[in-house]
Chains A and B, each alone.
Chain A
Amino acid sequence: MADTADFTNNAELKQYIGVMINNEQYGIDIGFVDNIVRMQRITRVPKSQPYFPGVINLRGEIIPVMSLRRKFGLEDDVITNKTRILILKPEPQASIGFLVDEVKEVLTLSDSDIDHVSNPDDKTSYVTGVGKHVKGLISIMNVPAVLTEKEAVNP
């Protein structure tokens, strides 16, 4: 019976992958996430955006990797044992990797747990809201905004 109750609530419940970037926890909608891989050799791509360290080979597929630290204007990545690449598939034919300090856990948050700070369609803010859960606060990442290239205007 408990299961069915869970299901009925599913409409408002969403799962997020909690990742650490510069000691701050961010939640990424699990719908975007395809895979999580360990840090591996990244091939630099000349003349690409500065926040792209390069590309990796994931089972024969070439995937560009974005450094969220660089994108958010933070200090550059320090590669540790905990560093992970989160593979996202925003579109069926296009994948992208997010370089993060650490992947913590999968969180289930209901809509009421999240304080929205900006419209999800707003491409100017990387965070759509702040979620509250037992262990503290978590910033919900606006993935489409992160993928949009506003820096392109003045490179």
Chain B
Amino acid sequence: MDVSQYLEVFIEEAKEHLQALNEHLLILEKEPENENTINEIFRAAHSLKGMAGTMGYKRMQRLTHDMENVFQEIRSGKMKVRPELTDCLFEGLDALQEYVDNIINTQDEGTNDNQSLIDALARELDIGLNGEAAVSEKAPVEPQKEAAPDTDTHQEKAVNAVNYAEYEKTAISAAIASGMSAYEVYVDLQESCLLKAARAYLVFKAVEEFGEIIKSVPDAQMIEDEKFDFSFVVVVLTNADPDALRKRVLNVSEVKEVTVKKVEFAETTPAADTEKETKPDEAVANTSESAPAQSTAKPAQQAPAKAAGQQTAKKAVVNRSVRVDIEKLDDLMNLVSELIIAKNGLASISGDDFAKKEKRTIYNEQIEYLERITSNIHQSVMKVRMVPIESVVNRFPRMIRDLSKKLDKPMELVMSGEETELDRTVIDEIGDPLMHILRNSADHGLESAEKRRALGKPETGLITLNAFQEGNSVIIECSDDGGGIDTEKVRRKAIEKGTITEEQAETMTEKDFIDLLFKPSFSTAEQVSDVSGRGVGLDVVKSKIESLSGTVECKTVLGQGTTFTIRLPLTLAIIQSLMVTIGEEKYAIPLGSIDTIEDIPVEEVKRVEKKEVINLRGSVIPLIRMAEVLDVPGERPEKNTVTMVVVAKGDKKAGLVVDDLIGQLEIVIKSIGKYINNSKMISGATVLGDGEVALILDANALV
């Protein structure tokens, strides 16, 4: 069976489970007795193990399995959650994440066995159990304790004997405990047998009459494919008489010889090469689900091997996908069917059934109808592309926990507005900048516990991450209650580094100093740590966010904390814009950046330091003559008033002087191509209704 078609599903779900594990483990760390949480963890770990097994990722399966053992002991109350244990488990999650990352990139889990981690888990298990050994029942624990060494053998395809995996042993011992017996049925077929698989199938059927088949050697898949010589072994759980069993199997024609042996764990019996095949055993909840997963493990294993040749050629095997709520898709489908109706409506007008005047009204109606549908379709498609920001930020609590341990500062992350939705393309890119800012807050922002105590602040530092929608943009605020940015320090550092001169520093405002932080290779950290302080942080953050047509601002109060505000456009592909003319040319200004539109009498335009400014309701804003900035050809006619589009970038405003306004238009943003020099003022182009190209002005670059 080829499992590569399930790869995407596997990766999606593995990520989800890992995330759930991370989240719940964080809770468990705080509330070691929380039963719901441990149940959740157990469930997630268990599904992950099953999935990894199905896909043939043995190393991943093994590690999950060992972690699951630990979770099971915690769940059954035999073990207590200790800090060392959670550390160990978190490390385990990281290792699993690594496997998943490898799978995403190469379709293969990689070769890291994480043996030390597995040993550490076994040790933790040992400590945890022996601490309470007196209370715990010995018997069911037994197979669990063997877990680590046992899985070792089942990983290097053991030969000869019917090898039992740990869970198979558990199943068998459970069956024996409930009064049944396990038998190995050795079947030899006659050499003249032509349809071996069919015979084997009949044998399986016969054996199943007596009890449950938990395993066969070779596995069922291989037997089905006739990949065996003339003998195979079936392991069955039954309370029937072994002789009756033997006779029944012998009754199947073309069977030469049958030997039935009782299973005891110590024994080893020669047989063909081995691989497991088990049937679910209800008696042992733990193993029941993982068993079918196991059955497909072998072929799955072969698939990556086959693909290995091509792997070097193709990178990032997995397509990016979005999970879409089925309701959103239904909406879309409805709209598309409406679109077809509208098209038919239009088509029918071209017939001769209507008078000319009538035609016009129907035509107009249909056009309006069409307009409504297209804008609805646009909204629906946009909704489909929207992903809650949760998918990015939900890894941060874990990161802050690790940072807290590493930096030895108690801190807490409070998040809100995780449900705020953003375009998928933005979501993919925003993770790193946010992480940078959070690390900054944790490392530079928050003071050490002693210092905080001395300052009379609560010892635990608080970092908040708040996301919300505001108009056509999404705002992500990240603040800490730490020391804030010392602008004096920034000033000294900037002068020392030669970024600015003393004279420049004289005229700079506090805000200007803070802006310096966003300059490349500028760090005020006295010490470079491996967390941050290398000065590659904020400028990267800024350029990344600007590449998403967003902005980032920083506000700080010395001694009280710092807030970074990231503003991102809701969508990237389609925007509302104001169409304006400058000379003969048409330009689009994104509505999101427009503050107001003003008609100002020429007399009100003042000059300050050779720059034109205007006093608009108390605030002085600079005028930008777009015709000059854009080198628009032709003479400007003298006019009595100036038409000005006031655009805002954060707190800064500017008035763009245009010749005329056309109106509001929904436009599709397109790139103007690779070869032509793209000035920062032009963020792209769009095609208008008549096929003409209009350029889109980037207000951010102009202000």
Interface residues of A (CB under 8 A from B): 41, 43-49, 52, 54-57, 60-64, 66, 91, 93-96, 147
Contacts and interface: CB of A to CB of B under 8 A. Distances in A.
A61 to B, nearest CB: 7
Contact of B693 (A43, A52, A147): A43
B195 interface: no
Interface of B: 585, 629-632, 670-679, 681-682, 685, 687, 691-695
B685 A55 contact: yes
Contacts of B629: 46
B682 A46 contact: yes
A64 B672 contact: yes
B670 A62 contact: yes
A56 B675 contact: no
Nearest to B692: A41
Contacts of B672: 45, 55, 62, 64
Contacts of A96: 673-675
A64 B585 CA distance: 17
Contact of B674 (A47, A61, A91): A91
Contacts of A54: 693
A56 B630 contact: no
Contacts of B675: 52, 64, 66, 94, 96, 147
A interface, over-half SS: strand
A61 B691 CA distance: 10
Contacts of B685: 43, 55, 62
B693 A62 contact: yes
Given A56-B693, A57-B693, A62-B693, A45 B674 contact: no
Most chain A CB inside 10 Å of its own CB: which residue of B585, B675, B685: B675
A54 to B, nearest CB: 8
A44 B671 CA distance: 15
Closest 9 CB pairs of A and B: A47-B679, A64-B676, A46-B630, A94-B674, A43-B693, A64-B673, A48-B677, A62-B685, A62-B670
B618 to A, nearest CB: 33
Contacts of B695: 43, 45-46
A48 B673 contact: no
Given A43-B585, A62-B672, A64-B674, 6 more contacts: A45-B672, A47-B631, A48-B678, A55-B676, A62-B670, A66-B675
Contacts of A61: 670
A52 to B, nearest CB: 5
Contacts, number: 75
Contacts of A91: 674
A54 B673 CA distance: 11
Contact of A52 (B670, B677, B682, B687): B677
B243 to A, nearest CB: 72
Most chain A CB inside 10 Å of its own CB: which residue of B674, B676, B691, B692: B676
A66 to B, nearest CB: 7
Contact of B676 (A41, A52, A57, A60): A52
B693 A55 contact: yes
Nearest to B632: A46
Nearest to B697: A46
B677 A47 contact: yes
B676 A45 contact: yes
Contact of B677 (A43, A49, A60, A94): A49
A64 B671 CA distance: 10
B597 to A, nearest CB: 22
A77 B400 CA distance: 62
A39 to B, nearest CB: 14
Contact of A46 (B674, B681, B694): B681
Contact of A62 (B585, B677, B681, B687): B687
Most chain A CB inside 10 Å of its own CB: which residue of B585, B629, B670, B673: B673
Contacts of A55: 672-673, 676, 685, 693
B124 to A, nearest CB: 52
Contact of A95 (B670, B673, B692, B693): B673
Contacts of B674: 64, 91, 93-94, 96
Nearest to A66: B675
Given A47-B677, A49-B676, A55-B676, A62 B671 contact: yes
Contacts of B673: 55, 62-64, 94-96
A61 B694 CA distance: 13
Contact of B679 (A48, A56, A60, A66): A48
Contacts of A60: 687
A147 to B, nearest CB: 6
A48 to B, nearest CB: 5
Contacts of B630: 46-47
A43 B692 contact: yes
Contacts of B678: 45, 48
A20 to B, nearest CB: 22
A97 to B, nearest CB: 9
A45 to B, nearest CB: 6
Contacts of A46: 629-632, 679, 681-682, 695
Nearest to B631: A46
Given A55-B676, A57-B687, A47 B681 contact: yes
A47 to B, nearest CB: 4
A56 B672 CA distance: 9
Contacts of B682: 45-47
A50 to B, nearest CB: 10
A94 B674 CA distance: 6
Nearest to A146: B675
Nearest to B693: A43
A46 B679 CA distance: 8
A3 B442 CA distance: 74
A49 B676 CA distance: 7
Contacts of A147: 675
A95 B675 CA distance: 8
B665 to A, nearest CB: 16
Nearest to A90: B675
Contacts of A64: 672-676
